[in-house]
Chain A
Amino acid sequence: MTIHLSLLLWAPAALALVGAVLPGRAVGRALAGLGAFAALAYAIALVIDYESGGGLQYVTDEIWIRELGVHYKLGVDGLNLFLVLLTTILFTATTLWSLSEKTREREGQYWLHLGLGHSFVLGALMAQDLALFVVFFDLMLIPFFFLALGWGEGARAEKTAAIIKLVIYTLVGSLLMLTAAIALAVLSASQSGNDLSFAFTDLTQVTLTKGSQEWIFLCFAAAFLVKMPSFPFHGWMPDGYKVLPLPVLAVFSGILSKVAAYGFLRIVIPILPDAAVHFQTLMLLIALASILYGSVMAFTVTNARLILGYSSLAQLGFIVLGAFSLTEQGAQGAILQSVNHGLVVAPAFFLAGAAAVRCGGSEDIRDMGGIAFRAPILTTLFLIVAMANLAIPGSSNFVGEFLILLGVFDAKLAIACIAFTGVALAAVYTLRLFIRAMHNRVGQDVDSRDLSLHDAVVLVPLVLCILALALYPQLALEKGEETVKGSVAAARLVQDPPKTPPRTAGTTPVPVTPGGGQGVVIDPATGQPVDPSAGGGQGVVIDPATGQPVDPSAGGGQPVQIDPSTGQPVDPANPADPGVVIDPGTGEPVDPNAVDPNATGGTP
């Protein structure tokens, strides 16, 4: 099945735009729903079709700005596959929830912003070019500013103040990131002597000097930590969360923060491995502070939204912790936990909203209580979501946390032990929210009624997703495994350099002298260079699938390169690339000119 990522990317925005232009309320609503569902259906097809173990799939690569080397390049692999699905699920849920709310001013514009937000988030997740990523990363906030301003809660002055704060924070982060992105591309190009390129695959080929890596790292980290947010950069969060309309907040908290977490695993750790190792302890400590601070705050505040907001602060701390454990387990856990947290926090916001509606609109947990008796279904759903949020073993959140902490345990024992306090605190604040909202005596203005149909269409599917993933987390783990390993491989190599020069295929790009008949080929199965003399002066290649030397005559006397992801010889007859080498980390063809001259692997 051919899947065009551009179709998935632009469908929500395009349909929302059409809906905004066409007259009629019903048309706009229908198109908004259609856009969300189309993207969801397409994303489901994508996940089903995706082959686990492979590198980047469904790549779209067009040159966008030739002079700057910016590509319009999209692709999906194990890192972003499930985040793309999560985005479409959450936007669909938000759209459905918003559709059922009766009156809304300037409704056409609301759908337009929601659709744009949907597309931009997808863009940031699927972008395989740093410049494109930066563009989408900044663009995706703009619709949310307008959503907060136009349809947010609270007085106008309050909204403006909160949004200005948000803008200041993210602007600083974005500028730093833009600088860092440009510097990264320029330095890479000058160091390797190639044309300017922002593609991730090109950037990972070049290892910058340690000094450059470090300041670029700090810029990226600042941008991502603000966006997540993470302690101590969360100043915008409480006010921002208070003014966002609730359905928008569900998707905002569910997915926007994950783009930042994803950025660490996609960009920062693979491209700046030395800096990642250098700043590992610092990042772990920031994550740890986030966990503890978020947890403590979550059980001192009384506003349901803020409880969930601080809870997210803590959970994102776990995700950063996993990523910067720089272990395969930690990274795998971080990706899984990103999906889990999004899947849990969104229904939690909807449920908090449902509880608030039932107690006269107050979101203060002191005004709630006692709904359970007349609303058993609502309570059961809340209970499941609460249990998942506190990562009870048996939920997929637990598997994520288990892997994250296992990774940290291997990397820094003390930090893992302290981080476990966050696990206990999660139980305290989550149960406190659940009990205050659902149990105890009936609150004063509480009108207990069970789930309405409109709550159910959103909540029940989300809870079913949580349950399904809890039963079979392997689904997400399996498809992500290979890519995740690649994402931390370079940093692991820096941290733990092997005694002999690194020859392990699958972790470093394999340098090959292009065009010659003497190219040394690393056997991906053994990691050993294949002795060219064994083939009578010709490059002999061992087929990794069979372990047998591949008949050199099949390649017309030229070294035959084996694509490690398929085990098939690459067609040497293709004149455009006489010695195509496939980067085992990404599955992408490597530009032979981009090979890092400083790389220690393999000797020509």
Chain B
Amino acid sequence: MQTTAWLVLGLPLAGSILIGLLHKQLKGKAAGYLGTAVLAGAFLCTILTLISLQDRTEEERQVVFVAWDYAKTVGVDAQLSILIDPLSLLMMGVVTGVSTLIHLYSIAYMVSDKGYNRFFAYLNFFVFSMLLLVMAANFLVLVIGWAFVGAASYLLISFWYRRKSATDAGIKAFVINVVGDIGLVLGTYFIFKHSGSLDFLTTFEGAEKSFGEHGNNDLTAGCLLLLVGAFAKSAQIPLHTWLPDAMEGPTPVSSLIHAATMVTAGVYLIARMHPLFELAPTAADVGAVIGAVTLLVAGTIGLVVTDLKRVIAYSTMSQIGYMVMGVSSGAYVAGLFHLMTHAFFKALLFMAAGSVIGAMAGQQNLDKMGGFRKAMPFTFGCFVIGGLALAGIPPFSGFFSKDEILLVIGEEGGWHWGLYVAGYVGAFLTAVYTWRMIFRAFFGEACPEAKELEGGHLHHAEVHTNPANGEVEDTDVGFPGSEHHIAERAPEMKVAMGVLAVLATIGGFLQIPKVTHILEDFLEPTFADSHVHHATSDGLLVLGLVLGAVLGLAGIAVAYRVWVQQPGTSAKVLERFKPLHTLFVNKWYFDELIGLVVVRPGAWIGRVARSSFERIFVNGTLVGGSTGVIKASSSAVRAVQTGLLRSYAALLLLGLTVVGLYFLLSA
């Protein structure tokens, strides 16, 4: 078990390094197959680890393996160690399984891109980082995985780095993720202060002893800071603005990182830290509320976005809102269940979207699409399955997992009813925006590209433009590749999508209410210490199931009426609700808000610093020049006379602040 567990982690890393070192030698699809094979190996090792873990008794299903001491000094006990338990195994299975399929898809999808080998090296590195994150046995390794995942995400968002829009999106994602890392580290400090150990199991076992039976303020602060980390990574409000921009990356990246795996890390974190969150109910409540707000806000934006990939991105945000809401309310198994089914159907939707974008020669605008149903039957089929699962139509996987979350929340009662209602409103919105996307891309009059494809020829654009800003691409370097690929013509893509379509259909059967509880039993050893126990009432269960199915179907019906039966309706509705529409189209002005609160003051301080302190002290006016002090004093006088008043005011302010801080802190 120890060997296979380390292999799960080691194989993707080895693959990444190997592809990197051999980037000149690997020709054609070799790097793609190598990368995929390595991940298939990792998936196999996950299964083997799973089998040997299940051989143990339930009490012994949390195992820690240590590689070496990492930073074991002056009271800090960080080792390079991994934790194998049902929770980490579930995540490992989802990560390696979905990654293998997405690598397989990418073999064909990325083949004309000149950055082919680089792509697979990055993608393998990402999987390694993600596995490090979910297998970490202590806070320090968790933070490392957390940050590596962010770095890999940055590299892949900026994959087409000749586009300024891509490098801008990359730095935005990276910096917001660093904010998350800081939250995580600071949260760790608060927890470490009392627990005295960075190790997960030690911290959890001693939680009641170190924090008291009802927790304490430091724990609440620590958990809230952990949530900052979770929100940044899982694109929850207000740290979500990077995710839509991250769609600058190639579509398989969106599918793997920004839908199936990395963005769910926040959910995993809360589930992993459940012994702490249960002692800090305030923090848990904040998580639940933010999740609910996010799922509604993202749902409304998803209704009006016209970029195909961004619709799915907002949908991802919204679905993760469900999961965060769930795990924060004690619905651990349900939240993780939704995480798993979401990975299946969302990865599938992104892959299908990639296929459509391929047929449009890189164009992502929904306004220009239409009528692809006949030209791309396989892609259409996959989109429908993914759409049904996402909208929560029985018996597709999303139906069971979403309802299970809401069921637990409903049972909490009290103000949780607000969350319950938000969840079902969100379910309706989900169905509408998902099927709006499907109807607009696949129904209606066929666009020229669709007609060309029906005639047997894949559209090929003469001039490549950046879908984000219409800028003409710098194609001399060969990426994005000049040729595109669609599922109908690439067996690798077809296999990957086919497998996911099956999983998206049947994945929900793991947990059918009253019938199966495979996942719950499997995860039991991890959550055995949880104090949250829910008594299920049959009435609420039936209500939830019926409500979910009805709202999903109603949403699809509305979408059908608005975008297929009477295509003019949406324009009329928009006219009536113009202010609301403006709010949604501008994404609730979050980017502008962050710019106003964070970016502009920062830039202002920089400008002031340069025009005052640097000019006076550094650029030779005061302490510079060859004439030294004499020149300095004369120029100081001159500076006053010529009216550098603003600089002085700033200096004075700075001085006062420093003095003030000094007295504040020393008091």
Contact = CB atoms under 8 A, between A and B. Distances in A.
Interface in A405-455: 405-406, 409-410, 412, 414-417, 420, 423-425, 427-428, 431-432, 435, 438-442
A365 to B, nearest CB: 13
Main secondary structure of the interface of B (DSSP, over half): helix
B174 A431 contact: yes
Given A232-B617, A328-B74, A296 B151 contact: no
B506 interface: no
A474 B70 contact: yes
B517 interface: no
A383 B144 CA distance: 17
Contact of A297 (B20, B148, B614, B626): B614
Nearest to B181: A393
A547 to B, nearest CB: 24
A402 B138 CA distance: 14
A403 B610 CA distance: 32
Contacts of A284: 665
Interface in B54-101: 68-76
Interface in B136-157: 140, 143-144, 146-148, 151, 154-155
Nearest to A168: B628
B144 A406 contact: no
Contacts of A399: 70-71
B415 interface: no
Interface string B243-258: 0000000000000000
A285 B665 contact: yes
Interface in B26-73: 68-73
B413 interface: no
A412 B189 CA distance: 13
B474 A424 contact: no
A160 interface: yes
A392 interface: yes
A478 interface: yes
B23 A376 contact: yes
Q: Which size class do A's interface residues fall under?
A: 35 or more
Nearest to B160: A439
B460 interface: no
Contacts of A425: 602
A452 B617 CA distance: 40
A340 interface: no
A461 B71 CA distance: 23
A442 B162 CA distance: 8
Contacts of A169: 623
Contacts, number: 175
A412 B69 contact: no
Interface string A364-401: 00000010110010001001000100101110001100
B386 to A, nearest CB: 33
Interface stretch (A91-99, A233-241, A520-528, A591-599): A233-241
A149 to B, nearest CB: 13
A329 interface: yes
Contacts of A440: 161-162, 164, 167
A427 B174 contact: yes
Interface string A470-491: 0011100110010011000000
B618 A239 contact: yes
Interface in B629-662: 658, 661-662
A572 B658 CA distance: 57
A438 B610 CA distance: 26
B71 A474 contact: yes
B624 A332 contact: no
A296 B140 contact: no
B173 to A, nearest CB: 11
Interface in A217-240: 232, 234-239
Residue among A299, A370, A439 facing the most chain B CB atoms (10 A cut-off): A439
Contacts of A232: 613, 617
B57 to A, nearest CB: 34
A300 interface: yes
B273 interface: no
A160 B74 contact: no
Contacts of A18: none
A7 interface: no
B171 A428 contact: yes
Interface string B297-311: 000000000000000
Given A372-B161, A414-B665, A393 B146 contact: yes
A519 B23 CA distance: 72
Contacts of B618: 234-235, 237-239
A293 interface: yes
Contacts of B72: 474, 477-478
B181 to A, nearest CB: 6
A380 B624 contact: no
Given A329-B76, A376-B23, A393-B146, A296 B474 contact: no
A427 B178 contact: yes
A432 B172 CA distance: 11
A387 B73 contact: no
Interface string B187-201: 001001100000000
Contact of B118 (A376, A390, A474): A376
B144 A394 contact: yes
A193 to B, nearest CB: 36
Nearest to A408: B189
Given A281-B665, A412-B665, A296 B609 contact: yes
B179 interface: yes
Contacts of B144: 393-394, 398
Interface string B593-608: 0000000001101110
A380 B23 CA distance: 12
Contact of B617 (A164, A235, A373, A435): A235
A93 to B, nearest CB: 23
12 contacts: A161-B620, A239-B620, A328-B75, A387-B151, A393-B181, A399-B70, A403-B74, A412-B665, A420-B186, A431-B171, A474-B70, A485-B74
Interface of A: 160-161, 164-165, 168-169, 232, 234-239, 281-282, 284-285, 289, 293, 296-297, 299-301, 328-329, 332, 370, 372-373, 376, 380, 383, 387, 390, 392-394, 398-399, 402-403, 405-406, 409-410, 412, 414-417, 420, 423-425, 427-428, 431-432, 435, 438-442, 472-474, 477-478, 481, 484-485
Given A329-B75, A409-B189, A472-B68, 16 more contacts: A161-B626, A297-B609, A300-B607, A300-B609, A387-B151, A392-B147, A393-B144, A393-B146, A399-B70, A402-B71, A403-B74, A406-B76, A425-B602, A432-B171, A440-B162, A442-B474
The 3 closest A-B pairs by CB, nearest first: A439-B161, A393-B147, A300-B606
